[in-house]
C-alpha cells in the first residue's frame, strides 16, 4: 500500500541547485515513488564542521510502496549516483537524502531510525518541512509548532521550488 513519507534533501558541493533537482528527478524515475509537495529551497550554514560551503536544503513529500529499508536503499543509490562520497561525518557533501518520517512507522533500528532522530532539533529541516506539512504530528506536536520552538536562525528562503526547477 502507498505510504506517505517526507525526505530531507541537502547539498553543499558542486552546482547545488542542479544536484537537488537531479535528486528529485531520480525519485520521480522510481516506479514505486510518487513525488508530491516540494518545499522552497533554503540556504543554511553548515552544522558541525564550519569550514565548508553553505547548504541548500528542501523537504519533499513522496508516496511510496517501498518499505522503509527499501526506500533507504533507494536514497543511498541516488546519493551514490550523484557523487556522494561518505568521508567525514557532518562534512561537505554533494547530496544528502534523509528519510525524516515514514507513515505509521517508528523504528529504533541502527540502520534507520524513524522519525529521524535529529530532525526535531534542526531548523534547516523543520523550516522547509513546516512549509509543506505544518500540521503533521512529530512525536505528539505539529511540525509547525516544533519549527517555531527551534526557530529559523540561519535558515534563509532562497526561492520557490517551481521557479527554480524550470517546471511549468
CB atoms within 10 A of CB 55: 21
What DSSP assignment string belongs to 94-106?
S-EEEEEEETT--
Residues with catalytic annotation? 84, 93, 96, 98
Q: Which of 117, 128, 119 is nearest to 152 (CA)?
A: 128
Alpha helices in 49-122 (DSSP H): 68-81
**Residue 11 burial (CB < 10 Å; 0-12/13-18/19+)?**
buried
Contact 145, 27 (CB under 8 A): no
- Spacing of C-alpha 47 from chain mean position: 15
Considering Cα of 71, then 35, then 134, then 82, what sign does the dihedral take? positive
* Alpha-carbon dihedral 158, 78, 98, 159, rounded to 10 degrees: 10
Amino acid at each position: 500500500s502507498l505510504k506517505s513519507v517526507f525526505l530531507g534533501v541537502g547539498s553543499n558541493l558542486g552546482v547545488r541547485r542542479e544536484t537537488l533537482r537531479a535528486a528529485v528527478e531520480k525519485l520521480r524515475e522510481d516506479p514505486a515513488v510518487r513525488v508530491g509537495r516540494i518545499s522552497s529551497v533554503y540556504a543554511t550554514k553548515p552544522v558541525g564542521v564550519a569550514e565548508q560551503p553553505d547548504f541548500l536544503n528542501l523537504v519533499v513529500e513522496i508516496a511510496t510502496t517501498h518499505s522503509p529499508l527499501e526506500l533507504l536503499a533507494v536514497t543511498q543509490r541516488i546519493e551514490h549516483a550523484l557523487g556522494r562520497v561518505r568521508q567525514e561525518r557532518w562534512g561537505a557533501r554533494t547530496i544528502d537524502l534523509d528519510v525524516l518520517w515514514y507513515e505509521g512507522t517508528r523504528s529504533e533500528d541502527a540502520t534507520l531510525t524513524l522519525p529521524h532522530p535529529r530532525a526535531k532539533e534542526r531548523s534547516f529541516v523543520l523550516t522547509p518541512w513546516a512549509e509543506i506539512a505544518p500540521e503533521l504530528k512529530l512525536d505528539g506536536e505539529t511540525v509547525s509548532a516544533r519549527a517555531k520552538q527551534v526557530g529559523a536562525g540561519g535558515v534563509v528562503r532562497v526561492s520557490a521550488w517551481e521557479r527554480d526547477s524550470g517546471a511549468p
